[in-house]
Amino acid sequence: MNRAVKLALLAATVAALGFGAFRFSASRPVSVTVAAPIADVAVQVFGLGTQEARIASRLGFETAAALVELNADHGDRVAKGTLLARLQDGEQRARVAKSAAGVSAAETALAKAEALAERATVIARQKAQINERRQSLVERRTVSVEAAEQAEMDARVATADQAIAARDVEVARVGLDTARAQLVLDEVLLERHRLVAPFDGVVIARTRELGAVMNPGEALFTLVDPATVWIQAFVDEARAGDLAVGQPAEVRLRSRPGEVFAGAVARVGLENDRVGEERRLYVDCRDCPADFHLGEQAEVIVTTRRLAEALVVAEKAVQMTAPAEGVVWTVEGGRLEERTVRLGARLLDGRVAIVGGLPEGARVVAALPASGLMAGRAARIVEPAAEAAR
């Protein structure tokens, strides 16, 4: 029994000493650093993507034949209208020649029909004049009734022949139009054996060699307009709310570490990546190297806005309670307090702006000590955290 009493007294003594040490420690001021407002704060978002081109076309033929001419290869710069390749076209050239001959024949047939129509008009006019004279003479009984009737019939036949000749001219004209249309069609089909550059660009790929048989729609070249090369990047949609066309951007290419190129937002995607929860962003790079490489990894940093002045602290010093709300430690009247504050812009370096919820005169603890934080405890401000404007 005496042993148990001794143990109980020892435990009570240890507890009393511990409590006393705690009270002594808690009564001593804890040293903390606090955040100070800084000026001209850049609010930025980060995106990771690749170098791409707005205008990149896979070029091929619309017909099937063997390649007999190749005038471009990987890396060549070509002007709009340049003949890049040609297919075997002998058969189609023969069709064009036949169609051209058909046009000539149709033109001749039209000329003949027009001549016959003119002849029919002259004959019809002559027969009409003879009929008029005979009809006047029959009234004076100078010619017989039979002769007058024959003249009238001849005039009517001539008029009918004139109408037929006019219709023959119309038929000949339709025939000429048909022949010309056939010639145009055959020339179009012949043109399909030639592949020309649709715009000024750089050939970045050629898939076949001379003698290969091309199929309709099969790509032979890939042509890129170098003036349309840009960066396609993806930004966390939680940070993408302020993105807008025209905002300044910095571009870093993986092949040129340490170099920063100036750019601007050219397009903000209207559809997010549903799996990655990211927004697609397109950035024009104003001074990127001319020797582009599509698919190269690139990083972009877009400045969405600048704050004239802001109170920012490290996110690790904030206990988040909502997307735009958190709890911070403050120094008020020389003692520590916990305050729920409203949060604003998040910076790329892991800091967040406090935009509301602080009492007058409250200072926000910028760096949390390892221990010793307790509401009401005395606090001693060591120095404001030195923050550089970003």
In the chain, where are the structural domains located?
26-41+310-384, 56-89+193-223, 90-191
Correct CATH for 56-89+193-223 of 2.40.50.100, 2.130.10.10, 3.10.50.40, 3.40.47.10: 2.40.50.100
What local confidence, expressed as pLDDT, does residue 68 receive? 96
Q: Do domains 26-41+310-384 and 56-89+193-223 have the same CATH topology?
A: no
Cα 216 to the center of its chain, rounded Å: 27
Q: What's the pTM? A: 0.70
Could you tell me the fold of the domain covering 26-41+310-384?
A: 2.40.420
Tokens of 335: 């003692």
Distance between CA atoms of residues 305 and 353, nearest Å: 13
* Tens digit of each residue's pLDDT (9 = 90 or more) over 355-381: 999 999 899 998 887 677 888 899 888
Those residues of the chain that have pLDDT short of 70 are 1-27, 370, 383-390
Q: Which residue has the tokens 């001074």?
A: 287
At residue 106, the pLDDT reads 96
pLDDT in tens, 16-70: 555 444 444 455 888 888 999 999 999 999 999 999 999 999 999 999 999 999 9
